[in-house]
Amino acid sequence: MLDFRMQTFLTVCEEMNYTKAAERLHITQPAVSQHIHYLEQHYGCALFTFTGKKLNLTNAGKLLLNAMQTQQHDETRLMIKMKQPTEAPLAIGATLSVAEGLLQDAFASYLKQHPNRSITLTIDNTKTLLKSIDQGKLDVAFVEGYYAKDAYDAICYRKEPFLAVCAPSFPHWQSLTTLEDLLTCPLLLREEGSGSRAILERYLAEQNIAIHDFTAYTEIGSVHLIKELAVKGCGITFLYENTAKREIAEGSLVILPLKGMPLHHDITFLWRKHSQFADDYRRLLEEFQKGECLYTK
């Protein structure tokens, strides 16, 4: 069990404010300061510094945070597993694009292989999923967005083509070969915080283009709705090839002939770095990969 002073440290790291941390913990601000001072004395180094009124973690503080987040995660998951050591409940996270377009076959196979196991699949953006892993709410997650490599152990689940599509009725789509050609086209895209949005923004930034450079864009928190609107000719969109496999095969969506596309992006399976359950998570990934192969043969 984490020391109460370590809980204070973790709360301060989340809030980056002593007063807000004290309010969350229902203790006084001087008590928060005392807890942090104790830890700094114990480890022999400063954990936080102030730049003006802004609180920052030192390098030592970052090291401690990473270690304690893994410990917090493992302790929470351990309590669950101790109550049900055989086929303990499993908490998996996935981004929306991964869950809706890339994970169904593997997940179906796993459920059939483990009919007596309770499983929770949480669908959210990468940032939220990572926070849930840190807090022990999730065992693992399948993400497409970017993450801190010093905080998580990760394995590439699969590489997926990321491309631009539109309806075959979209005006002059065959002549849209550069990003500059697309700027006058209505853009359909995911909301901020989503993994596919981050991939698109990074790709555009490499060409010195931003979302606001498009004449018009519509942000939508549903991959399914984005596809439906694209099929109806409401604009162009960027998504994973497998997500639109059916629509492309039946001809209701076409791939834009953009130079430099498709991109190939890693779908990553990750968990807290140095977790004591790492071997379990690796075996879980192997089962998912085998399950996907069964359905794609």
The topology under which CATH files domain 4-67 is Arc Repressor Mutant, subunit A (1.10.10)
Q: Are strands 187-189 and 236-240 parallel, antiparallel or unpaired?
A: parallel
State the pLDDT confidence band at 84, using cuts at 50, 70 and 90: confident
Q: Tell me whether the CATH fold assigned to 73-156+266-296 matches the one assigned to 159-265.
A: yes
pLDDT digits (tens, 9 = 90+) for 257-274: 999 888 888 999 999 999
pLDDT of the residue at 101: 80
Range 157-195 burial, b when 16+ CB lie within 10 A, else e: bbebebbbbbbeebeebeebeebeebeebbbbbbeeebb
Length of the chain: 297
Instruction: Flag whether pLDDT at 126 surpasses 80.
Output: yes
Q: Residues 201-230: what's their mean pLDDT?
A: 94
CB-neighbour burial class of residue 250 (10 A; exposed 0-12, middle 13-18, buried 19+): exposed
Q: Domain residues of the chain, as ranges?
A: 4-67, 73-156+266-296, 159-265
How far is the C-alpha of 138 from the C-alpha of 13, rounded, in Å? Answer: 20
pLDDT digits (tens, 9 = 90+) for 36-63: 999 999 999 999 999 988 999 999 999 9
> What class, spelled out in words, does domain 159-265 have in CATH?
alpha beta
pLDDT of the residue at 155: 96
Residue type, 29: Q
pLDDT of the residue at 27: 95
Residue 42 is given by DSSP the state H
Q: Are strands 187-189 and 217-219 parallel, antiparallel or unpaired?
A: parallel
pLDDT digits (tens, 9 = 90+) for 163-195: 999 999 999 999 999 999 999 999 999 998 888
Instruction: Flag whether pLDDT at 85 surpasses 70.
Output: no
The topology under which CATH files domain 73-156+266-296 is D-Maltodextrin-Binding Protein; domain 2 (3.40.190)
Residue with tokens 């590439």: 156
